[in-house]
């Protein structure tokens, strides 16, 4: 709840667009009147306000013992409540005005996480309505304030906070936003954490933070632009409030602009610095050289149908591989799970010198034995034969027919040189037959595609294409599939026959709420993008 929101109006929207959500709630009864129910319109339904019709927006495309425990509990509660428990906030108008945590946390952060605790009325109702359906979150989401739900979750996970009363000890001072930064220690030691909590009253915040166990021992506390900064020492806290802010870092600001809507939870990391801080002895290895200058940013976004984790990468060592779009949507409509990636063959060829170099490093004996065995046993020429099988695009698929039978229908569709692929498969089959083992490998080919499958019938079905992309569930789970250079899809409603009978009670009910999971992404010259979605029933 923002500071200018009347305390008696818990559903105060930030603007009229905040009303565009699919929810219904009871409006408090005015004096001498009757309570009534207001229905919030859907994403695609216009809302009538008096004689004016407002079009709804389109549907949008994680030191001291007590201090550590509280911070970890905060992160865990958010991730469990939003992702694991299925809580959903529609994300359209979250950030509001005023300072953000990145405006008060230091610019030398290795990583950063931001949480918005004051979504609009529709978002609150969507969150609480869905969260109450799941056993992991039902107990925490009993009121109507996400901040209270968060404190309740923290109390449930930290015995030392059992005596904390939200209305007395937290609500008077807690603001709308929280940020967590991972920072260099300054003395060459392990990185340290700093927490920025927006506050409405500094004096009340001091008392409340002490009640939460962060004001004792070695913890430091300072205030900056309406935020309490909590650090591992008072010396660091005093330094942080004087430091240049993270929002002033041009790379950080550029990455957030490229990310777009920051949603309920957003995060950013300098991948190279994080790797150097955690694995400094490997700083000169080929793997870490590949991520030089790389950054990663992401956001959790929500609608009534799904929870979405969207992310981007920027920087890193450029590659000459230019992957083409995968065609996962052209699989048969009966597909229940699939994974498709583009450019693996070319990438393998490009990275092969690094792979061979790795055979001479720590643990390289195992890798060398695998490569030597592939050459000797199967007569493969590496990396060429393997690159042929990976092709320009490589797609694995699982069919619903015979899913729980003795021989499920599974196969791979390769966009590659079909003649070379046929030769590689024939050599592998000959080796298996020579070992007195039946090589049950069915193949089909045509139009530059080579299919390998568990049965000849399924090979033909995969080779003929299909209409998976027309499925509503697929479209929800795998956005922009036509432009994706990699994608993953699982129809949980049709896969649940494999696992639902093994679940009992609430776990079975919770699992039934999950409809599908999808991932889609694209690699470009300036970095990559991805979207991971969990679709709910």
Mapping DSSP onto H, E and C, the string for 301-362 reads EECCCEEEEEEEEECCCCCCCCCCCCCHHHCCCCEEEEEEEECHHHHHHHHHHHHHHHCCCC
Strand partners, 460: none
By the 8 A CB rule, do 291 and 108 touch?
A: no
Structure tokens at 294: 């790389």
Q: Which residues share a beta bridge with 396?
A: 339, 412
φ, ψ for residue 51, nearest 5 deg: -100, 5
Of the candidates 167, 87, 80, 97, the one whose C-alpha atom is nearest the C-alpha of residue 130 is 87
- Enter the tokens of residue 482: 């036509």
Delimit the domains of the chain by residue range. Answer: 65-302, 323-343+391-536
Please, which residues bridge with residue 260 across strands?
A: none
252, exposed or middle or buried, with CB in 10 Å at 0-12, 13-18, 19+?
A: buried
pLDDT tens track for 421-454: 999 998 888 877 766 556 678 999 988 899 999 9
Residues 6+ apart with CB under 8 A from 533: 306, 307, 308, 309, 476, 477, 478, 479, 516, 517, 518, 519
307, 82 in Cβ contact below 8 A? yes
Q: Exposed, middle or buried, 436 (CB in 10 Å: 0-12/13-18/19+)?
A: exposed
Structure tokens at 252: 């950080």
Question: 141 and 150 in contact (C-beta within 8 Å)?
Answer: no
Residue 522 contacts by C-beta under 8 Å, 6 or more apart in sequence? 325, 480, 483, 484, 485, 486, 528, 529, 530
CB atoms within 10 A of CB 370: 11
* Tokens found for residue 510: 């919770």
The CA angle 351-352-356, to the nearest 5 degrees, is 125
pTM to 2 decimal places: 0.74
pLDDT tens readout for residues 245-280: 999 999 999 999 999 888 778 999 998 888 877 655
User: One digit per residue, pLDDT tens: the chain, 537 residues?
Assistant: 434 433 333 333 333 333 333 333 333 333 344 433 333 333 333 333 233 333 333 333 333 333 333 333 444 444 444 433 333 333 333 344 578 999 999 999 999 999 987 755 555 556 666 677 677 777 666 666 778 877 877 787 788 888 888 889 999 999 989 999 999 987 777 899 999 999 999 999 998 888 887 655 678 999 999 999 999 999 999 999 999 999 999 999 999 999 988 877 899 999 888 887 765 555 555 556 667 788 999 998 877 778 889 999 998 776 777 889 999 999 999 999 999 999 998 888 888 887 887 777 666 788 888 888 888 877 788 899 999 999 999 999 999 999 988 889 999 999 999 999 999 998 888 877 766 556 678 999 988 899 999 999 999 999 988 999 999 999 999 999 999 999 999 999 999 989 988 898 888 888 998 999 999 999 877 789 999 999 988
Q: Which of 1, 26, 78, 16 is nearest to 50 (CA)?
A: 16
146 contacts: CB under 8 Å, gap ≥ 6: 117, 118, 119, 124, 127
């Amino acid at each position: 709840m923002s500071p200018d929101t009347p305390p008696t109006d818990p559903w105060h929207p930030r603007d009229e667009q905040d009303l565009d959500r699919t929810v219904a709630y009871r409006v408090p009864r005015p004096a001498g009147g009757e309570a009534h129910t207001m229905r919030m319109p859907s994403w695609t339904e216009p809302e009538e306000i008096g004689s004016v019709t407002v079009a709804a927006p389109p549907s949008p495309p994680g030191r001291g013992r007590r201090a550590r425990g509280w911070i970890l509990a905060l992160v865990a509660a958010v991730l469990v409540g939003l992702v694991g428990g299925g809580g959903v906030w529609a994300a359209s108008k979250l950030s509001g005005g005023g300072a953000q945590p990145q405006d008060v946390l230091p610019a030398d952060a290795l990583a950063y996480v931001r949480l918005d605790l004051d979504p609009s009325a529709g978002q609150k109702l969507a969150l609480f309505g869905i969260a109450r359906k799941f056993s992991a979150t039902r107990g925490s989401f009993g009121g109507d304030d996400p901040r209270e739900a968060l404190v309740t979750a923290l109390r449930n996970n930290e015995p030392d906070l059992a005596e904390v009363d939200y209305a007395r000890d937290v609500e008077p001072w807690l603001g709308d936003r929280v940020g967590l930064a991972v920072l260099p220690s300054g003395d060459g030691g392990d990185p340290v954490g700093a927490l920025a909590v927006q506050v409405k009253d500094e004096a009340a915040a001091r008392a409340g933070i002490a009640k939460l166990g962060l004001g004792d021992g070695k913890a430091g506390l300072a205030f900056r632009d309406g935020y309490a900064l909590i650090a591992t020492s008072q010396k660091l806290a005093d330094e942080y409030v004087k430091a240049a802010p993270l929002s002033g870092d041009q790379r950080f600001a550029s990455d957030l602009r490229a990310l777009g809507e920051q949603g309920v939870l957003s995060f950013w990391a300098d991948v190279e610095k994080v790797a150097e801080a955690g694995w400094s002895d490997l700083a000169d290895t080929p793997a870490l050289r590949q991520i030089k200058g790389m950054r990663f940013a992401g956001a959790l976004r929500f609608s009534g149908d799904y929870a979405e984790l969207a992310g981007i990468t920027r920087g890193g060592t450029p590659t000459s591989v230019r992957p083409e779009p995968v065609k996962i949507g052209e699989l048969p409509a009966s597909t229940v799970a699939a994974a498709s990636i583009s450019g693996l063959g070319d990438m393998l060829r490009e990275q092969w010198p690094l792979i061979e170099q790795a055979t001479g490093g720590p643990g390289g004996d195992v890798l060398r034995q695998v490569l030597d065995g592939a050459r000797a046993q199967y007569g493969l020429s590496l990396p060429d034969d393997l690159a042929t099988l990976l092709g320009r695009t490589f797609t694995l698929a699982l069919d619903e027919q015979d899913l729980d039978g003795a021989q499920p229908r599974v196969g791979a569709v390769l966009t590659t040189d079909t003649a070379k692929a046929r030769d590689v498969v024939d050599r592998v089959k000959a080796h298996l037959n020579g070992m007195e083992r039946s090589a049950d490998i069915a193949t089909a080919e045509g139009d530059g595609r080579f299919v390998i499958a568990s049965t000849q019938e399924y090979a033909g079905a995969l080779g003929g294409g299909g209409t998976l992309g027309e499925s509503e569930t697929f479209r929800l789970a795998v956005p922009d599939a036509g432009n994706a250079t990699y994608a993953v899809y699982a129809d949980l409603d049709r896969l649940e026959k494999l696992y639902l009978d093994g679940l009992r009670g609430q776990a079975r009910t919770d699992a039934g709420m999950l409809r599908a999971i999808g991932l889609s992404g694209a690699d470009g010259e300036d970095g990559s993008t991805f979207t991971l979605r969990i679709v709910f029933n």
